[in-house]
Amino acid sequence: MDLLQASFSEIASAVKSKKISAVETTRFFTKRIEQFDSKLNSFITLDRTAETQAAAIDARIAKGEDPGPLAGVPWGIKDMFCTKGLRTTAASKILENFVPPYDATVVARLRSSGAVVLGKLNQDEFAMGSSNETSAFGVCRNPWNTKLVPGGSSGGSAAAQAARLCAGSTGTDTGGSIRQPASFCGIVGVKPTYGRISRYGIVAYASSLDQAGPMTNTVADAALALEVMSGRDGRDGTTSTLKVPAFAKDLNSQVKGLRVGVIREYMKTEGLHPDVLKTVQKALETLRTQGAEIVEVSVPLTEYSVPVYYLIAASEASSNLARYDGVKYGYRARFESLAELDLDEFYGRTRGEGFGKEVKRRIMLGTYCLSSGYYDAYYNKAGQVRRMLRDQFREAFAKCDVILSPVTTAPAFAIGDRISDPLAMYLNDIYTVSTNLAGLPGMSVPFGMSSDNGSGSLPIGVQLTAAHFAEQTMLNVGLALELASGLKGKVADVQR
């Protein structure tokens, strides 16, 4: 079996039929981590019990039991997800030594489906960033060219997946943090409808925007993983009570008669890399030739999506991160004596030393937005615009079944290129944040490669967005594009 190309179903079937053991599969991927991750820095913590987990799955199969649809499939987990007995840092100094006593719901569901956890993946600190350069554990690198960023915040997940250091990986998406790195690294990344997947056990950044999702090598794998992860969770009151569809079973590539929307405001070519524009146009033409109808729609408020997003996200981050003060858990600044310590100094030094620059920037921005005299002018106003944006998307989906757009303005950029310019970094999310503000499902599918301008030819994804809880339609269109792209399951050459 070629484990570099094997799908989740193929691995699980081979493990269940004893053609290969879960232990052998796990060893294959751990050896790839040992061989290549020193060049990528995609893992923060390795789970030394991975082979033990795999052996337990083999033992269950020997007894005639069915471990689940992901039997023996090795996964990497973004370090925002709590993992019982395994360090969870959110790529921060302040949580550097935190070991949770429980699994996040997503992790628990993966385990109960037979998945093996290989370790925790690198990311931007507290998921705040678009390049994986804000991690307290060092920069993660793009396997297509290690001088480039893998995207963020789920950069470690995307890099490890693209280099096939794991068979599947998890990400979180607050404003594009699954889709953007998926595009940069040439993999499939799915952000489901808000409420489709439980947020229980995920370190909170912006609670009304955060959503977990799978990052995989193919659309079929993403569909199966989404099915496993989704569903009502009594520990997260925001999860939907809707029945989880059979995403994998119902997956098909028929697009004839579907209406594919193009957002007029997204197709302004100013600032859009010509290779990205070419890839989007090619994707639209591909769907047209397969029988889909291309229609133009308008969502005028997308023009304000970036400032609205950062007002809301920073405000919620200010509230969520207030718990990290050095009192109950996490990093605590060292003091010669605690007896006569001033409380403000205690909090100030602990948080000043424990948080990175980008996290402190967003906390300060959010605190300002929530402060007396500014709440109505900023946070409340942003919330009102958000609701209007959601309504405009509903009007757009009355005219189309799915929307196709760019994921980012350009392919992956160089490490260090934008980290000192926060505004330029924030504008990188211009095509993705609207999806989170409206709570819609979105995904990135590899569809093109850039021209070689000295950095090598780089992957370019296209973004699909669907109406609330219409992930099946989105996945089906994604499959049609994947089959036409010639890029299905393409593994990055880390030797470059």
Domain boundaries, the chain: 8-258+468-485
Rounded Cα distance, 144 and 141, in Å: 9
Q: Which of 153, 183, 230, 450 is catalytic?
A: 153
The mean pLDDT of the chain is 96
What is the per-residue pLDDT for 340? 67
Strand 259-263 and strand 402-406: pairing? parallel
User: Which residue, among 303, 356, 290, 395, has the nearest Cα to 123 in the 3D structure?
Assistant: 356
DSSP string, 206-257: -TTT-EEEEEESSHHHHHHHHHHHBS--TT-TTS--SPPP-TTTT-----TT
Coil/strand/helix, residue 28: helix
pLDDT-derived band of residue 495, with 50, 70 and 90 as boundaries? low
Res 422: pLDDT: 86
What is the spatial order of strands in the sheet that 188-191 belongs to?
43-46, 116-121, 74-78, 168-173, 211-216, 188-191, 442-449, 459-466, 402-406, 259-263, 293-297
Active site residue 154: no
- Whether the pLDDT of residue 204 is over 60: the answer is yes
Cα 457 from chain centre: 23
Place of tokens 């060219």: 145
- Of 481, 489, 492, 391, give the one whose Cα is nearest residue 443: 481
Which own/partner contact pairs does 372-381 have at CB distance under 8 Å and 24+ positions apart?
Answer: 378/311, 378/315, 379/311, 379/312, 379/315
Q: Is 7 helix (H, G, I), strand (E, B) or coil?
A: coil
Q: Which structure tokens are listed for 204?
A: 């909170």
Q: How confident is the model at residue 342 (pLDDT cuts 50, 70, 90)?
A: confident
230 included as an active-site residue: no
Averaged pLDDT, 25-32: 98
pLDDT of residue 224: 98
- What average pLDDT does this structure show over 175-202? 98
**Per-residue model confidence (pLDDT) at position 25:** 98
Partners of 449 in beta bridges: 459
Amino acid at 443: M
Residue of 21, 42, 113, 177 with catalytic role: 177
Confirm whether 371 is a catalytic residue: no
Calpha distance 309→385 (Å, rounded): 10
pLDDT of residue 328: 85
Task: Return the pLDDT at 74.
Answer: 98
Q: Which residue has the higher pLDDT, 216 or 493?
A: 216
The domain covering 8-258+468-485 belongs, at the CATH homologous superfamily level, to: Amidase signature (AS) domain (3.90.1300.10)
286 token code pair: 């591909």
Per-residue pLDDT tens digits for 459-489: 999 999 999 999 999 999 999 999 999 999 9
Tens of pLDDT, residues 80-129: 999 999 999 999 999 999 999 999 999 999 999 999 999 999 999 999 99
Q: Which amino acid is at 481?
A: L
Q: What is the mean pLDDT of residues 262-273?
A: 89
Burial tier of 40 (Cβ tally within 10 Å: 0-12, 13-18, 19+) = buried
The pTM of the full predicted model, rounded to 2 decimals, is 0.97
Q: Which of 78, 120, 191, 490 is catalytic?
A: 78
Which pLDDT value is given to residue 372?
87
Percent of the chain with pLDDT over 70: 99
The whole-angstrom separation of Cα 274 and Cα 35 is 36
pLDDT digits (tens, 9 = 90+) for 237-261: 999 999 999 999 999 999 999 999 9
For position 173, what pLDDT does the model report? 98
